DNA sequence: TAAAAATACTCCATAGGTATTTTAT
DNA sequence: ATAAAATACCTATGGAGTATTTTTA
């Protein structure tokens, strides 16, 4: 069974005349007759009822006609389909993201991307970098938003910086410090910390650690927690203070005050990362996000 | 675009190895490599990312894979599909029928046919013979149930007799005749008639007419009507009496009495008719009905 | 260096062309 | 008598084979 046969069948079925059908196929009548005979033999049925004066579809031919039309149309569309896929205009994109990016412009960017590339199926997964990396390795993830120490980038990945910002101190509103407009480095040293485990985001952890080391001190880690939401809740409960990206202030929380720290507070960077050999859908996404940032 | 190319693509996509794919296709590796190159050129994309050590699907290839699978499966199924159509086990069947057959075994037969041939799409149209004939001529009808004078058959049609029965007289229950168990021919002559127009069913009309002519008389036609239901309603309203097939008694009507007529009352026959060159679905239907009658 | 894909060429199967015959209106 | 499908036979394109080279893990 070849599509050529179906094209020939379709021409004859529509013209109901071997001569005209052959002309339409840019061939002559005898080989067309033979081709149809061969198709009939292949399928084990007669497709036309013919006399020397007329050609009509047989019941089998009538059954084949819509199928042939459909298959030929599908074949026709294949080229456009695969080219769209090659250009990254269709396919799928599996995104990882850390919880904090969910609050900024990210949702709006996603919506814009969906509208511009409706044939790309998006799937989202909230995950920290340490969870994303194995997923990248096993090919289950195409790109991810992460928060990390400035300039860092996992090996084998490319990176697009979304935002770079100082970290601020989140502390319980009940502390006297909360009345000040800012906090000094010395005051920070005295506060017990709620912080994400080093295993989760080593570069960011080290950036915070660096702040203390620059002052010849070590942080007093009271509690470890992973989700930003959890950390803020623990701060609210008075367990300790926490370094958080300045943008986290935007989604406040009753009982928590955010204070800039004077001197040289640690900074962090939000980036989109993707494997160096990523598929074109990923490039489309990166380009789209880059354009959004520029705008 | 030929299915051969898709088969080759599918083999490589599944094996991810040109050598093994070639073996599966019962060919050697070099022409397969060339065939894939040609397919890629046709589609204007690269379908595989290959090195001398590994073959992987490109995004375009990933997009093509499900399409190729679907088209090849469809091509696979074509043979069975058209053979079923050729044997009359799939397709469509457009049936005409006169209202009276709707009351007998006809609905049960139809249900049985539907169950046995679920791939034949049935469509039904209630129509008298004079309406059915042009539909047959224009190819809009495949077979029809009609009531006609015994033995008659339109030219170019084949016929399967369903039932042959005498006609009985339907008359208003208020007439004194209605008290008798039967009516004599002489008594019939006096009654005004409600009858279908000759144009609708000439053979049947003539059969009724023959009853009167055999007695040297003519019927007194009070009113013409087409639908059997209408005729019975008019009888009930006292407009006149009517000759109806004996089977019509089964669906009675308040105010109407059915009486056998002594002597030689007109008879009528219910038949299934179909054009002599009918499609196999029609043969299936005829055979099915014939088997039902025999049972 | 070895496994696998890519090239270079050769061949033949078959799609298609030309000439003619058959058939049915 | 004629239009159109079928048959017979021929040609040549391109799909597949064999031998070899190139590539990279």
Residues of chain B found within 8 Å of residue A43, distances taken between Cβ atoms = 78-79, 82-83
Contacts of B274 (CB under 8 A, 6+ apart): B142, B143, B144, B157, B158, B282, B286
Domain boundary among B68, B86, B104: B86
Nucleotides of D under 7 A from a protein CB: 3-9, 15-20, 22-25
| B62/A2 touch (CB, cutoff 8 Å), yes or no | no
Show the domain range for B126. Answer: 92-295
Both A13 and A53 in one domain: the answer is yes
What is the pLDDT, as a whole number, of residue B252? Answer: 77
- What pLDDT is attached to residue A128? 87
Q: Which of B65, B86, B107 is the C-terminal boundary of a domain?
A: B86
Cβ of residue B117 lies below 7 Å from strand C = no
Number of domains present in the structure of chain B = 2
Kindly determine whether the C-beta of residue B37 is less than 7 Å away from any atom of nucleic acid strand C: yes
d(CA A187, CA B12): 66
B14, B56: one domain: yes
B221: confidence class by pLDDT, cuts 50, 70, 90: very high
* Residue A82 to residue B64, Cβ atoms within 8 A: yes
Chain mean pLDDT for chain B: 91
Residue A69 and residue A132 in one domain: no
Q: pLDDT (tens digit, 9 = 90+) per residue, A121-144? A: 999 999 988 889 999 988 899 999
Q: How far is the CA of B50 from the C1' of D22 (A)?
A: 14
At A268, the pLDDT band (50, 70, 90 cuts) reads: very high
In the predicted model, is pLDDT for residue A76 greater than 80?
yes
The answer to whether residues B110 and B9 belong to one domain is: no
Same domain for A232 and A269?
yes
Cα–Cα distance, A163 to A106 (Å, whole number): 12
- Whole-model pTM: value is 0.77
Long-range CB contacts (< 8 A, 24+ apart) of A60-63? A60/B82, A60/B83, A60/B85, A60/B86, A61/A9, A61/A13, A61/B82, A62/B85, A62/B91, A63/B81, A63/B82, A63/B84, A63/B85, A63/B90, A63/B91
Average pLDDT over residues B163-190: 90
pLDDT at B104 over 80: no
**Domain harbouring B78, CATH code:** 1.10.10.10
Assign A171 a pLDDT band (cuts: 50, 70, 90): very high
The pLDDT score that the predictor gives to residue B8 is 92
Closest C-alpha among A220, A227, A262, A219 to residue A244 = A227
Instruction: Identify the CATH number of the domain in which residue B279 sits.
Output: 3.40.190.290
Among residues A57, A86, A115, the one where a domain terminates is A86
Q: CA A222, A224, A230, A231 torsion: positive or negative?
A: positive
Looking at the DSSP bridge assignments, the partners of residue A223 are A194
Q: Are both B63 and B153 inside the same structural domain?
A: no
Number of residues in chain B: 295
Statement to judge: residues A144 and A69 lie in one domain: no
Higher per-residue pLDDT: A252 or A135: A135
3-state secondary structure B90-152: CEEEEEEECHHHHHCCHHHHHHHHHHHCCCEEEEEEECCHHHHHHHHHCCCCCEEEEEECCCC
What tens digit of pLDDT does each residue of A53-68 get? 788 899 999 999 999 9
Q: Identify the DSSP state of A197.
A: -
Q: What is the mean pLDDT of residues B105-114?
A: 92
Average pLDDT over all residues of chain A: 91
As a whole number, mean pLDDT of residues B12-22 equals: 90
**Residues A108, A147 within the same domain:** yes
pLDDT at res. A289:
95
**Same domain, residue pair A51 and A119:** no
pLDDT at position B263 = 84
pLDDT value at residue B99: 84
B10 and B104 share one domain: no
Query: Do residues A79 and A104 share a domain?
Result: no
Question: Does residue B106 share a domain with residue B78?
Answer: no
Q: How many residues does chain A have?
A: 295
Residue A251 in this model has a pLDDT that exceeds 80? no
């Amino acid at each position: 069974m070849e599509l050529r046969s179906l094209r020939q069948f379709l021409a004859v079925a529509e013209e109901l005349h071997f001569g005209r059908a052959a002309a339409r196929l840019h061939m002559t009548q005898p080989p067309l007759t033979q081709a149809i005979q061969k198709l009939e033999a292949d399928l084990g049925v007669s497709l036309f009822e013919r006399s020397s004066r007329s050609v009509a579809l047989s019941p089998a031919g009538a059954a084949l006609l819509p199928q042939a039309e459909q298959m030929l149309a599908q074949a026709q569309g294949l080229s456009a389909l695969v080219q769209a896929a090659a250009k990254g205009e269709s396919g799928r994109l599996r995104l990882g993201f850390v919880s904090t990016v969910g609050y900024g412009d990210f949702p709006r960017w996603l919506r814009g991307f969906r509208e511009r590339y409706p044939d790309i199926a998006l799937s989202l997964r909230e995950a920290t970098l340490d969870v994303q990396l194995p997923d990248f390795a096993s090919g289950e993830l195409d790109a991810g938003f992460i928060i990390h120490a400035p300039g860092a980038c996992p090996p084998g990945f490319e990176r697009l910086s979304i935002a770079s910002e100082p970290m601020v101190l989140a502390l319980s509103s009940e502390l006297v410090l909360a009345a000040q407009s800012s906090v000094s480095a010395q005051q920070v040293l005295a506060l017990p910390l709620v912080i994400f485990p080093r295993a989760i985001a080593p570069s960011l952890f080290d950036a915070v650690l660096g702040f203390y080391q620059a002052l010849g001190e070590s942080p007093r880690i009271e509690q470890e927690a992973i989700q930003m939401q959890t950390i803020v809740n623990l701060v609210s409960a008075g367990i300790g203070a926490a370094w958080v990206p300045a943008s986290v202030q935007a989604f406040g929380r009753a009982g928590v005050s955010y204070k800039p720290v004077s001197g040289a507070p640690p900074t962090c960077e939000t980036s989109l990362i993707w494997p160096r050999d990523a598929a074109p859908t990923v490039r489309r996404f990166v380009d789209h996000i880059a354009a959004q940032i520029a705008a």
